[in-house]
Amino acid sequence: MTPWYEGPLVALTVRARQPDLPGAGTQGGPDPEHDALTAAALAVQEAPHAHAEVHSWPSTPGAPAGPVVEAVARNLAGAVAGPLAVAQAPYDLTLLDRELRRHRNRPLTAYLGHRSLCVVDPVLLDRRLNSTGGRRRLADLCADYGVPLQRDPETDPLAEPLADPGPTAVATLALVRALGRRYAPQLGRLTPPVLHALQAVWYAGEARGSAAWFAPCTRSKSYPAWPLRPMTAG
């Protein structure tokens, strides 16, 4: 049987900014409850060496956000026939859900309909399977697993990736495949639904304090749900 990481994959990447609102982002880090989606990309690839089809919605300052987030949700719903690779999935998927609620009064699940997401988060998988520790940003993982990540040549090597999230979505596809191959004994026989369920269990354990270290975008003992935070009262 072909392992899931050698078959069709879809990757989602988003870009966001913190709002200039009193009380929003008061803890100084990314917050999917209040941040605003500024750009997004989906990359769809049928096989490891096949061309990746990229749908990108770059940032357009001053443009209304509603049409963009709806386009992302509809394209995502049409593309998720297999595993969905999302680095820092609790942030990206929760952000998309909250933006849809704000601008379209509909949650992400309303666009997915009967489709069930089988998410693969390379940050979570590496944190679980890699005992060496260290930084777990997407750029760090790409370097560790030998995956090229396009950057702005005008900036220094440690700068953030390009504002267009398309290249990052493509890199996420390659990263998930590379991670699957490196940890084939642990991951190769798992089906996407089983892997999705395992990640939810691992993340819940971390959120309850069993892990020694959390990445900034995923630390939240109040939100053990994965990969989408539930809405909370207030």
Q: Residue 118: inside a domain, yes or no?
A: yes
Q: Residue 74: inside a domain, yes or no?
A: yes
Q: Residue 234: inside a domain, yes or no?
A: no
Q: Distances in Å between the alpha carbon of 89 and those of 1, 57, 164? A: 27, 19, 19
CATH of the domain at 201: 3.30.420.10
Q: Distances in Å between the alpha carbon of 94 and those of 1, 2, 91, 100? A: 33, 31, 5, 10
Output the tens digit of pLDDT for each of the chain's 234 residues: 889 999 999 999 999 988 765 554 445 678 999 999 999 999 999 999 999 999 999 877 777 888 999 999 999 999 988 899 999 999 999 999 999 999 999 999 999 998 889 999 999 999 999 988 777 889 899 999 999 987 644 433 444 445 789 999 999 999 999 999 999 999 999 999 999 999 999 999 888 774 444 444 444 444 678 999 988 754
Q: Residue 97: inside a domain, yes or no?
A: yes
Q: Residue 230: inside a domain, yes or no?
A: no
Q: Residue 157: inside a domain, yes or no?
A: yes
The position carrying tokens 């990969």 is 227
Q: Residue 225: inside a domain, yes or no?
A: no
**Full residue range of the structural domain in which residue 28 is found:** 4-207
DSSP H or E segment with residue 167: helix 166-182
The position carrying tokens 């699957």 is 180
Q: Rounded to two decimals, what is the model's pTM?
A: 0.86
Q: Residue 189: inside a domain, yes or no?
A: yes
* Number of domain units in the chain: 1
